[in-house]
Structure 1
């Protein structure tokens, strides 16, 4: 009962804040105004999980085969789609036909778009990637039942949580998950990453997204929904002047959640940091915590550049920065808590 009341109160506060503060001067398009292209010849592991997730989020999409893609130019794609998703676990024909078209997809990304590549092959479809991914990135075969999410110190578990890890990632890559086959994170095996490419973004993952979202629990769908939000948020960095406000409850709740998480973690950090200094914690540990705290503050400042954060809860474009602010602030707290536990 307490949890229900707490959730209801949170929603009441959320809508009250938006109503009182009113809409800000800058707005981004709603999720229903994005358009996503799904590239696949068949369902990965027999599950249309990508389509189902997009449908549940009210995001429009088209589905195209690797053969049909041959009839499209980079400009066709740039003009029609905010993001392209390549589905995992395809037959060999798919990879044979996608490989020669990688230049077209790279041109699409460089124009400021997002390419989300589910690169887990060695699956039921039997196909293998025949060419490197944008920027020369390659996936190496490696099965792992556990993959570790760096930002929030959680583990995703499945029959095979991932089928591979990436090599050749650019220096600007942000690692999202690493394989943890024994339960301990292996930072030498990044299984999900994102990196800028031209004016756009490439997202690569060796996770079995489609299989695990369909069969392995709500934490997988929640993880994937946040990935989609993050990637689409990147595509709305350049904001239209008079686009409608996003009214979707998911966007508002996600932004509200991370806003609360950031401020709670910040309050906790300030208390712990004072105790750590007074207790004589070493400068190296304090420095690591300060770096995470400063990084969180920078992301929060980015989320605040369009006006008060609370008045922008309905808008997707603050999601990326607000989420990262909360996660880095939580890491700052974690550094101090771990060190203090050893006192």
Structure 2
């Protein structure tokens, strides 16, 4: 099955002859109604999702294409589906096959990728589309032209037809053939990285900087791979490679490189979780600056937070000192906790 885009129907010169409605126009005409009573399952009371009133299945629905979990489909009961599609839709439509036997030919559509995910991408594949379609129709005969599937990026995609409208969660799908390469800017150079998650990219830039600053490594390229479902990036230098999980890179995002920022923030008093009172917190500052090489570990940044140690009955104020360190063939991000002296005013 070929994926359609709005450009498929012609350019601006032929717009007057374009009789195919776009995603928003279809969504504005979408049917919203209570989920039907069927023998294959029941539906919970309406709830609010993304500005729409929806009903979730009480339990998984068994279809001929497999079991549709209650997280996969929500029946749209009320609300402005057109506004939802205008806000989130990617601008294209998915054709519904003419027969159930043709669903196996549906091409996988990757709607977004996330370096923190176990799978490389999320989207709509043949099985996901057929399961949702059977939930909507009940598995009976149908006319394909009366139904439309609308991808909506990270948000649930829309499946609509005469019976009603479903919001369908994106599912893990295979890695797409086309890479999602982005430009990675560091203070030393500009690299290309196959990563769409902005948090991971920010951490990757900091990781490259730390390698250069503390270890004197000039990174020449960044490679992507998956090992047992984990996304990882390998930073390649002239003489060595530095492999690190995307989740560890994400931890480097948002850390404070200047500890005086934390000192200034806590000096005026901090509010413990679950309390309305401010307490005074004292911190002498870190032992090492960011970029310091300490027995093979590289100090990467600092973060103020609250922790509840096993020996304590309440939360205590701490500063976490994050480090990048080598663990066998891979680098990881870990932290040490510095408990702060606190005084109740």
TM-score under structure 1 normalisation?
0.23
Q: Which has the higher contact order (CA 8 A, sep 6+)?
A: 1
Larger strand proportion of the pair: 2
